[in-house]
């Protein structure tokens, strides 16, 4: 077997997991060419390759009904992983089962159980009413006319798309098009939803509408959701658990609360002083992040928080004091910057 050929070892996932991923890797051979005429001729007659590791040794399990966030910077391997989980590309190494099936075999029973929604892609025909495309989907999935009307009516109500499906897709707003795409993707009631940036480019109100729908759909049908998004509001609103991938490696698998506990060992202390004080004096109480007149923000280690706040109250004249945690975005940014693998939180 050549190095470029996929190596795949089939195995059965546990009964508890609807998605089981073990040691998943995807390698791409890339031709290497030296500069100049000699390099061009050599490249033409005898090419050499190096391996690019898009995803390397990723393992995780997802239980039925879970909504899991899948996060990482651009190029981290999120979309490549989703494509392997949906069978669009072969894994190079590893073991995968989704809803009891090996994805890359693309069996009809498997395709009936999953869906993939990519915010930057569309399946609805641009110049036709969305309803016409939905009828095509119904024929593909062998959905009867009666069941088709029932499902379209139900999803139309959940997505607040009344009166929109008979309009050409090009006349819908971006938010309405995204909702119509979701309707088309969920018409066959899949058990597993792979969502890649479903709120990309939407305004705040449209984002909220899509989140509310996904939450309701998950609760109504107990569908399993693996969600990627650059909008942390999507993740915090929908996901109790997150997977973080960085440079192809899974570096965290656990809860959002556990993420903050592990990677935010400090708190922000905000003060409103009676009088302005020099930075040199304020530095005695913690790492001064920001000073704006009488407003001061400190970074204080969590273990020293009680002691530091007591000292501030005893020493300084203050109008107001508040203590806050750093945002989820800040914490995740620190994790990506560190780029180290950590054990799942309990």
| Helix 174-186 / helix 145-159 crossing angle, nearest 10 deg | 140
To 5 degrees, how large is the angle CA 149–CA 153–CA 158?
150
Domains and CATH numbers, the chain: 63-93+101-259 (3.40.50.300), 265-324 (3.30.70)
pLDDT at position 346 = 39
Q: Does the CA dihedral 203-209-212-216 come out positive or negative?
A: negative
Could you give the CA distance from residue 270 to residue 307 in angstroms, rounded to a whole number?
Answer: 15
With beta carbons less than 8 A apart as the criterion, state whether 19 and 98 touch: yes
In this prediction the pTM is 0.78
User: Of 290, 286, 317, which Cα lies nearest the Cα of 304?
Assistant: 286
pLDDT at position 340 = 53
Could you give the CA distance from residue 289 to residue 295 in angstroms, rounded to a whole number?
Answer: 11
- 206-213: list long-range contacts, CB under 8 Å, 24+ apart: 206/173, 206/174, 206/175, 206/178, 206/179, 207/231, 207/233, 207/234, 209/159, 209/160, 209/175, 209/179, 210/175, 210/178, 210/179, 210/182, 211/237, 211/238, 213/158, 213/159, 213/179, 213/182
pLDDT at position 304 = 87
Residue pLDDT tens, the chain, 346 long:
333 333 233 343 345 799 999 999 999 888 888 888 887 887 778 888 888 899 999 999 999 999 999 998 888 999 999 999 999 999 999 999 999 999 999 999 999 999 999 877 888 999 999 999 999 999 999 999 999 999 999 999 999 999 999 999 999 998 999 999 999 999 999 999 999 999 888 888 889 999 999 999 999 999 999 999 888 889 999 998 999 998 899 988 999 878 777 777 778 899 999 999 998 889 888 888 889 999 999 888 888 889 999 999 999 998 999 988 777 777 777 677 665 544 444 3
């Amino acid at each position: 077997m050549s190095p470029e050929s996929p190596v795949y070892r089939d195995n059965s996932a546990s009964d508890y997991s609807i998605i089981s991923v073990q040691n998943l890797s995807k390698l791409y051979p890339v031709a290497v060419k030296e500069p100049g005429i000699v390099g061009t001729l050599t490249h033409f007659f005898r090419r050499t390759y190096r391996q690019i590791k898009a995803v390397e040794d990723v393992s995780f399990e997802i239980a039925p009904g879970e909504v899991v966030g899948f996060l990482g910077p651009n190029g981290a391997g999120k979309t490549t992983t989703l494509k392997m989980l949906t069978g669009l590309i072969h894994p190079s190494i590893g073991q995968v089962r989704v809803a009891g099936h090996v994805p890359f075999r693309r069996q009809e029973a498997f395709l009936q159980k999953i869906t993939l929604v990519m915010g930057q892609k569309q399946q609805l025909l641009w110049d036709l009413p969305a309803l016409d495309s939905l009828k095509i989907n119904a024929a593909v999935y062998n959905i009867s006319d009666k069941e088709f009307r029932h499902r379209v009516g139900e999803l139309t109500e959940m997505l607040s798309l009344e009166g929109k499906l008979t309009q050409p897709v090009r006349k819908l707003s971006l938010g309405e098009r995204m909702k119509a795409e979701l309707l088309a993707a969920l018409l066959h009631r899949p058990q597993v939803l792979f969502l890649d940036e479903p709120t990309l480019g939407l305004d705040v109100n449209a984002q909220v509408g899509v989140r509310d729908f996904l939450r309701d759909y998950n609760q109504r049908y107990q569908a399993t959701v693996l969600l990627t998004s650059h909008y942390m509001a999507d993740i915090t609103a929908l996901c109790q658990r997150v997977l973080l991938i960085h440079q192809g490696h899974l570096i965290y698998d656990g809860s959002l609360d556990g993420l903050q506990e592990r990677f935010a060992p400090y708190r922000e202390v905000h003060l409103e002083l009676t009088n302005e004080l020099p930075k040199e004096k304020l530095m005695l109480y913690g790492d001064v992040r920001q000073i704006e007149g009488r407003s001061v923000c400190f970074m204080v280690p969590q273990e020293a928080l009680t002691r530091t706040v007591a000292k501030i109250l005893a020493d300084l004249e203050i109008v107001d004091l508040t203590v806050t945690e750093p945002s989820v975005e800040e914490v995740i940014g620190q994790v990506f910057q560190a780029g180290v693998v950590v054990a799942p939180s309990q």
